[in-house]
Structure 1
Amino acid sequence: MGTESKRQQRFAGVIQQDLAELFQRDGKAWAPGAFITVTRVRVTPDLAIARVYLSFLNTKTAKDDIANIKTKTNEIRYKLGAKIKNQVRVVPQLEFFLDDTNEYVEHMDKLFDEISKEDRQPD
């Protein structure tokens, strides 16, 4: 996958900011008790599809929450369209993905801790 153009990056930034506000305001209905963060947005070169990566805090059911949000994609796209209608020609299709970077970092930290606790064997 090549690098994104300035236009894609700018468009992704607009979508990320507006979706973040939307999840902050309405996210409780879609994922009760979870704090939702829009960590990254990637846009296709034709600006037709936006891949949105979400991170969930304060929840053990992130996979269920992302599944619930995927069922609400049309509602979320409609609300996003109402916010950005004057800035874009076409509101992109939204695809949501779980950003598990935090879980991966925690897992790696745990592995490194275990390695450092093991007895050193002489060479």
Structure 2
Amino acid sequence: MESKRQQKFAGVIQEELAQIFRKEGSAYLPNTLVTITRVRVSPDLAIAKVYLSFLNSPNTSLAVNTVNAHAGEIRYKLGARIRHQVRVIPELSFFVDDTNEYVERMDQLFDKIAKERKDQED
């Protein structure tokens, strides 16, 4: 379970990264909208796992690899924004947030189960 400190720090990182991607995201991924869905921070605040969702991206794994390739540059820009608020700028690791795909898959399974029950009742 994350502490209040971790949650607050994760919120700051999420807001600042969202602004970075909104203003400069087209340099990394042209014609792609990047959304930061969640940030998880280690207890020592040195590592941040950033979960991203992509819109208009045909290949999400390629998109996240591209963002990870620019992680140092993004970290530098993040540091310039939050340097007066924190002691350590965390190492950033980017991951694909597949929550929406999971929800869709579960909905399909529930629909299939409901249909099978209905067919059995008839």
Using the size of structure 1 for normalisation, the TM-score is: 0.90
Distance 1:111 1:24 in 2: 35
> Which of these residues, 103, 114, 117, is aligned with residue 116 of structure 1?
114
Match for 1:40: what amino acid?
Answer: R
Distance 1:58 1:100 in 2: 15
Greater Cα offset, 33-42 or 69-78: 33-42
Deviation at 1:114, TM superposition (A): 3.3
Distance 1:35 1:106 in 2: 20
Deviating 4+ runs (over 4 angstroms): none
Kindly provide the CA deviation profile for residues 13-43 of structure 1, in whole angstroms up to 9, marking residues without a partner as x: 0000000111111111212222111001111
Partner of 1:55: 53
Greater Cα offset, 107-116 or 63-72: 107-116
Partner of 2:6: 8
Distance 2:113 2:55 in 1: 27
Partner of 2:21: 23
3-state SS in 2 of match to 1:80:
helix
Greater Cα offset, 106-115 or 29-38: 106-115
Using the size of structure 2 for normalisation, the TM-score is: 0.91
Partner of 1:71: 69
Deviation at 1:63, TM superposition (A): 0.8
The percentage of counterpart residues that share the same residue type is 59
Deviation at 1:58, TM superposition (A): 2.1
| Consecutive unaligned residues in structure 2, runs of 5 or more | none
Partner of 2:80: 82
RMSD between aligned residues:
1.6
Distance 1:30 1:44, change over 3 A: same
| Consecutive unaligned residues in structure 1, runs of 5 or more | none
